[in-house]
Chain A
Amino acid sequence: MSLSKQDVKKAADLARIEVTDQEAGDALGPLEKVFVLIEEMQQLDTENVEPMAHAQDISTRLRDDIVTEKDQRETLQASAPAVEKGLFLVPKVID
């Protein structure tokens, strides 16, 4: 397979990471090496193999949908970049 600079830019856009044209170009070489490594998998026949999504074949435990924590809004917002009246502030999205 061969990656293009456009592929890098598209992935970066999907991942919400700003990249310049120069950065996308610089990233390409090392990424191609990684994909050569990854492609080694294709040599193996995995027909009829059940995919393994998790380290153990157990179903995730469920719990009742009840409140378990007390209100800690101020504590939890103390590390936020911008807060006003208990709300997280972000740039305006609706005019």
Chain B
Amino acid sequence: MFGKTVKELGDALRRKEFSSTELTTAYLEHSKALNKEVNAFITFDEEQTLAQAKLADEILSTDNATALTGIPIAHKDIWCAKDWITTCGSRMLENFRSPYDAHIIKRFKECGAVTLGKTNMDEFAMGSSNETSWFGNVKNPWDLGRVPGGSSGGSAAAVAADMTPASTGTDTGGSIRQPAALCGISGLKPTYGLVSRYGMIAFASSLDQGGPMAKSAEDLAILLEAMVSFDDKDSTSLEKPTVHYSSMINKSVKGLRIGIPKEYFSDEIAPDIQNGVQDALKEYEKLGARLVDINLPTSPLSVAAYYVIAPAEASSNLSRFDGVRYGYRAPNYSDLNDMYAKTRAQGFGAEVKRRILIGTYVLSHGYYDAYYLKAQKVRRLISQDFAHAFKTCDMIMSPTTPSTAFKIGEKVSDPVQMYLSDTFTIAANLAGLPAMSIPCGLDRNQLPIGLQLIGNYFDEAGMIAAAHQYQCATDWHLKKPPLHNV
């Protein structure tokens, strides 16, 4: 039963080829064994997982089964799941057992999906390599000496290594797409506001968005149907008519105008990535799409603006971790202020502290206009660039990342080098646009290359269809990492 997509597993479950309990037990054993090498999961909870599988088997014996009933799904450990340890990759929440379900966790439960485990991630989703996790770095299944990307690195590695049929992630500046690219899987960040943030531990609230990660675009459609729903507990959740993404995947790309932003095809990109992406674009032309040159002139400043806005929001969001209501508290302190300061000094890792300091600084008296307000203005211009571009094209394509998976430790000493690995992904978050990454080749070291698709607002169905058409014509998404070496 391994190596199959969510679509195939769902069909097999409903045909009674095997039960959810059998499937889930097999995945649990397989994942636990592989996890010793890959470290993609922080928590397994066999008892809760198998109880859900048993429940799913009961639903499967009726006519009420959905496409996800009985399918094990791994959730990024940023999502609160009732009675599950929910750490957000931090010492601060090492022992935090969530008293409630995030909205999307509740939705997956309603669909009869099974929670296989909670996946490793950069601490509080701050990182692009999974090296900031308190629970040790995740290793890339394509080369265990390399990073899986981040921050949803555990979710990406788990899908790549087939430790789970699919997973969930979150994307604030590329945290679904960048690890999807580096691990050779498909991942989608929806339009801001489509997936509820209720129960997602907040990083930068105006940018954070949850989304699915899977082996194929078709699976992304199935997962997205469960994840998108209006939620009155998230004040930015949008009320939209239900879209049946999976019934729209066969839409042809004939006549599709694909915008090629010249700013995203600079010489700084690894040559193998340039070639891989060019080949993918040729494939799209063969399928009937047309390439259109576009400009996103402000996009080179997206990383700069992001590293003001995201830390500013984070410094506010993370003030809740004070050792009073939940999480870590320092063992020794002299008074209340000292308790806060020691708790936060010991509970947060270096990168999280760095971002809190940046955010505190840019918001502090005398600097607000020069940094925060300036960044918000740059954000407006970036957003307007896209609006202008979408007058002449229907979808934008580019490399997802400037390089393939880099070596563990390679970028830890220079935060800016690390930040620049999200250089092509951040603009979509600033504008709130949907974007995805799909595999489109392997480089000279047999490492996956990602193709980024950026759609117009609410064009998830069009993007998934375009990705599916590509995956019907090519087999890059079927390539498997050489995990027999493990």
Contact = CB atoms under 8 A, between A and B. Distances in A.
8 contacts: A16-B341, A34-B354, A34-B415, A37-B304, A41-B305, A44-B298, A51-B380, A81-B324
B339 interface: yes
Contacts of B457: 56
Contacts of B341: 16-18
Contacts of A77: 325
A8 B353 CA distance: 11
- Majority SS of interface residues in chain B? helix
Contacts of B413: 30
Contacts of A14: 360, 364
How many chain A residues sit at the interface, stated as a range, is 35 or more
B476 interface: no
Contact of A33 (B235, B416, B432): B416
A44 to B, nearest CB: 6
Interface in A36-50: 36-42, 44, 46, 49-50
A93 interface: yes
B66 interface: no
B277 interface: no
Interface stretch (B55-63, B126-134, B140-148, B371-379): B371-379
B360 A15 contact: yes
A47 to B, nearest CB: 9
B357 A15 contact: yes
B193 interface: yes
Interface string B339-379: 11110110010000110111011101000001101111111
Contacts of A58: 193, 236, 238
In the A-B complex, the 8 residue pairs with the closest CB atoms: A55-B432, A51-B376, A55-B192, A81-B329, A46-B377, A52-B380, A18-B341, A18-B345
- Majority SS of interface residues in chain A? loop
Given A33-B415, A49-B381, A51-B373, A16 B358 contact: no
Contacts of A2: none
Interface in B262-289: none
A39 B371 CA distance: 8
B18 interface: no
Contact of A60 (B235, B304, B305, B358): B235
A90 B357 contact: no
B206 A53 contact: yes
Interface of A: 7-8, 10-12, 14-19, 27, 30-31, 33-34, 36-42, 44, 46, 49-56, 58, 60-61, 63, 72, 75-82, 88, 90-93
A50 B325 CA distance: 38
B324 A60 contact: no
Given A53-B376, A80-B326, A38 B206 contact: no
B424 to A, nearest CB: 16
B337 interface: yes
Nearest to A83: B325
B193 A55 contact: yes
A78 B82 CA distance: 13
Given A11-B364, A41-B375, A81-B323, A76 B357 contact: no
Interface stretch (B25-33, B92-100, B477-485): B92-100
B336 interface: yes
B415 A27 contact: no
Contact of B97 (A53, A54, A79, A91): A79
B414 A33 contact: yes
A30 B414 contact: yes
Interface in B398-438: 413-416, 419, 429-432
Residue picked from A19, A82, A91, A93, most chain B C-beta under 10 Å: A91
Interface string B304-341: 11011000000100010011111111000111111111
Residue picked from A16, A37, A72, most chain B C-beta under 10 Å: A16
Given A18-B344, A55-B207, A93-B336, A41 B374 contact: yes
B176 interface: no
Nearest to B347: A17
Given A27-B357, A55-B429, A81-B327, 20 more contacts: A15-B360, A16-B319, A17-B345, A27-B354, A34-B354, A37-B303, A37-B416, A41-B301, A42-B370, A46-B374, A49-B377, A49-B380, A51-B379, A54-B236, A60-B235, A79-B95, A79-B99, A79-B325, A80-B325, A91-B333
